[in-house]
Structure 1
Amino acid sequence: MRRRHVHRGMIAATVGGVLTLTTTTATQAAPPPLTDPVKAASIASQLGKERAAGVYYRDGRLVVAVTDQASAETVQSAGAVAEVVPHSTADLDSAKAKLDQLAGIPNTAWSIDQSGNRVDVQIYDGVSATDRSRIENAASGFGDAVDITERSGKIESTAYAMRGGLGILSDYTSGGITRTRACSAAFNVQDDDGNKYMITAGHCMANGAVTWRRRGGEVPLGRATDWAYGNDVNQSDYGVVKYTNPDVTPYGTIQYKDGSEGQISRSASAFEGEKVKRVGTMSQDLVGMVLSTNATVTYDEGTTLKNMTEASNCDVFGDSGGALFSGETALGITSGGSYADQPCGDSDSQADRSTWYEPLGLVLSWEDLKVY
């Protein structure tokens, strides 16, 4: 808005020997439009977080949002457009900081919308009623400074995803012939520095099958850093693959056969009688029970494993390395089972069918890793 400032001055003139005082009016030119966003941000900074509320473009002009008329006049005198709004930068920062305490809820996002003078909260599909309530409670004290909207779909990285239960492949050489081994991922884990690893079965690494890729899309994943199958001091069956492809995002979830996911948030030892689920790349059995712990089993080819968990779930070839879990608790790594050449599903009717699992807790302890 152009403002006209009237400057009154005294001009002396001699008329007929008499000194006369004459008042004149001059028009001050309006300042040129401000086009430098850095300068606009500087103006907002000088006003402070209690009087300013952001800088943005509207209809090609820089706008500085402010909370009072005096600040608006300061902005206008610099050539920028001023907009008086109810919520200051301090107000919006406070609301976002409160919401940031809840950061980590999958399929949620929030940010400060400066042109809307509010914090926009987006809640996508898959957010539980409990988490929705937590977000609403956090926002409730800020009135219309926070706006919550619900959106369909999920928020996913555009990088390749890797989750427990998905198929993995590796090439190895046997008898001079290159072959491909197919197994399953169990859980994604990390070390104290945040480096990500995948846990699978150690017998999958036999004959040098140590460089792994995702079955879907043949996406490179990483290389095994440690593995054991019956020949270590613990007579165990596990493998650890370090992710080396920066385009792969390892999630702390399990993927079911229908594409849905289950969050894994902790690990624990299994106990007899516990209801458990198993997921692998070839099949899943979500209805099972732990039959025993600290089991010793010797497979058909002669390998003996100790400290194993036995469960009533079924499995088939290709499920090796997959996940055994209960709710959000990771329990074990699929090693083998009986009737592995028979169909497998949640309603499996083979009464004496059993599967054996490497306890995940032992592996995490040995390798100094943790679920996330």
Structure 2
Amino acid sequence: MSHRRVNKRTVVIAGAAAAALAGAAVLLPNANASPDKSAEAKTFSSQAAVKLATGLASDLGGNAAGWYYQGDSKQLVMNVLNEDAANDVRAKGAVAKIVANSLTELKATTKTLSDNASIPGTAWSIDPKTNKVRVLADRTVTGTKWATLTKAVDGLAGTATVQRTNGEFKKFDGTDETQPGANGGADQGGADDGAGQGAGQGGADDGAGQGAGQGGADGGAGQGAGDGQGAGDGQGAGDGQGAGDGQGAGDGEQAGALDGGDAIFGGGARCSLGFNVEVDGAPAFLTAGHCGNISETWATDQAGAQQVGTTAESQFPVSDFALVTYDDANTQASSTVDLQDGTTQQITQVAEASVGLAVKRSGSTTGVTDGTVTGLNATVNYGNGDIVNGLIQTDVCAEPGDSGGAMFAEDAAVGLTSGGSGDCTQGGETFFQPVSTALQATGAVIGGDNGAGGGGAGDGAGDGAGQGAGDGAGAGDGAGQGDGAGQGDGAGAGDGVGQGAEGGAQEGGAANGGAAGDNGAVGNGDNGAVGNGDNGAVGDGSGDAVGDGNAANHS
């Protein structure tokens, strides 16, 4: 609405003019009022907004035309077709926006595009902010392809718009030529027998893998456990050879559990893990379907020595998700996403995406990036017949190798990275497979019991307790909670805690020895033998857990 500017000068207003002005004064309050009364709307968390919008859409039926979340004001905006529906929306505390196009009309538009303009390098999604279908064409759409696309959009009676994107739509699986990013966590085994990524990141010269702590240089004498010599005869964990004889875990055959966003390798490709799940009580994880189509087996290293899982189900194209089961049925797969900074995000639930929702993505090439959801029910044509429907469109960046990686909103799983255009230097669009669809199709569950297998492992001790697999990793004889580490003989609550030359004042132990030197308390020093990794037997990677009877992994 336009407003005319009034000169600030004294005027004499006669009869009719005065009456006209008085009438205008009566009408102005209504003319200036916001048509959707957003100032009176309530604020909602994103998850509460999804719940309310779903209920309103069900109640309003055909009078609802989509909705979106305003992250800055934390308000829900509901598109409706008439004033009666708008009043119902306002009564629930949401913002009502009367629009021209019904959701049925917008869905019909997407079908017309699929039938008449299915061109490689194009994508479209319903944009509730504009109440139109937003069509994107990448740089490969030229000549007759561009003419066909624009003709189709022009014939859609104003229900669609088309625009260019500078990049090229592609799936984001990596190959041997693409390298994992510094924060991607792909194949970062330490030097000289350091454990591979599956059991963490081994230190130099026989350092223990991260799953059994972080062994230090030259054997990394452990701290305060086993007569002051660390876990497993003072050589980190598992006789000082990393976790599992220096091969990652389990004698080099199987790696431990991973977090969302960590690298997985198979069939000459590198992808990223999405979310750990459970299927019929067994540990598994989700990743992209186009990754699942590439390889039957997956490892945590490029050479494939540390095999972690086997593809059980894969759907691509049309959808884009795969279910990979952990080869070791005893794998303790935490419901967490790797934040690529030494910390993780706990995932406890699943959320449906909404336009305007703030999200983050973790992947093995570019680490963690963030952005917002920009479209729903998206279709993208990657070429060669690879067309995927029902995706979430975002302005989050990603690059090859990030495929399958986790998209999440706080503690909620939202999507699995599929593909897009651009990169994390120039920016671009990225499309995600909704996690909810993948879970429903596979029968998997996420986030139960603080994550699939993320609960405690008991109080004590002995061979096989803890989380690793194989001698020297997780719960073997040399690490975790076996003899010489955790709560076995000579560690924690066992004999000789803190009494060796470098026993250290271990928290929770019997700190009779001198204060810790370079080796510090268990799990806290540079060379701690018990740490935060998924295969570590003692929780939280600090000395407090050793000697207190806490055997659970809380990474």
TM-score (norm 1): 0.49
Larger radius of gyration: 1
Between Structure 1 and Structure 2, which shows a larger proportion of strand residues?
1
TM-score (norm 2): 0.33
More RCO (CA 8 Å, sep 6+): 2
